[in-house]
């Protein structure tokens, strides 16, 4: 699995990533530290580029990929769980229909 997903559900081709607000450059909570700011700016920029690459990789391979921000997990875990549960349910129905 590329990009080290936080959750993998192979049966339904679902991968879930939980992105740290700092390391993945969240627009709301991300910040560039004042010391060594060039270093950090570049590092976080690279992470964002890698995230985009990983996202396209899974999409191209026909996987369902969901990305959550760390702050979403902290603020409203129930929405996160609901999103994953809905996706599992959709995939379950899809697979069932394919078997008919």
Q: Interface with Zn ion by CB under 5 A: which residues? A: 21, 26, 28-29, 69, 71
CB of 28 to Zn ion, least distance (A): 5
* Alpha carbons 71 and 58: distance in angstroms, whole number: 23
Q: Which is nearer to Zn ion, 9 or 32 (CB)?
A: 32
Q: Angle CA(50)–CA(36)–CA(2) in degrees, nearest 5? A: 15
Q: What minimum distance in Å lies between the beta carbon of 31 and Zn ion?
A: 10
* Phi–psi pair at 3, nearest 5 degrees: 75, 5
Identity of the residue, 3 or 30, whose beta carbon is nearer to Zn ion in the bound complex: 30
């Amino acid at each position: 699995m590329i990009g080290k997903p936080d959750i993998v559900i192979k049966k339904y081709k679902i991968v879930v990533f939980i992105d740290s607000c700092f390391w993945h450059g969240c627009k709301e909570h991300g910040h560039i530290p004042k010391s060594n700011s060039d270093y950090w700016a570049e590092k976080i920029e690279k992470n964002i580029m890698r995230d985009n690459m990983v996202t396209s990789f899974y999409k191209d391979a026909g996987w369902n990929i969901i990305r959550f921000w760390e702050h979403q997990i902290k603020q409203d875990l129930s929405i996160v769980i609901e999103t994953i549960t809905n996706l599992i349910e959709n995939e379950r129905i899809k697979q069932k229909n394919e078997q008919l």
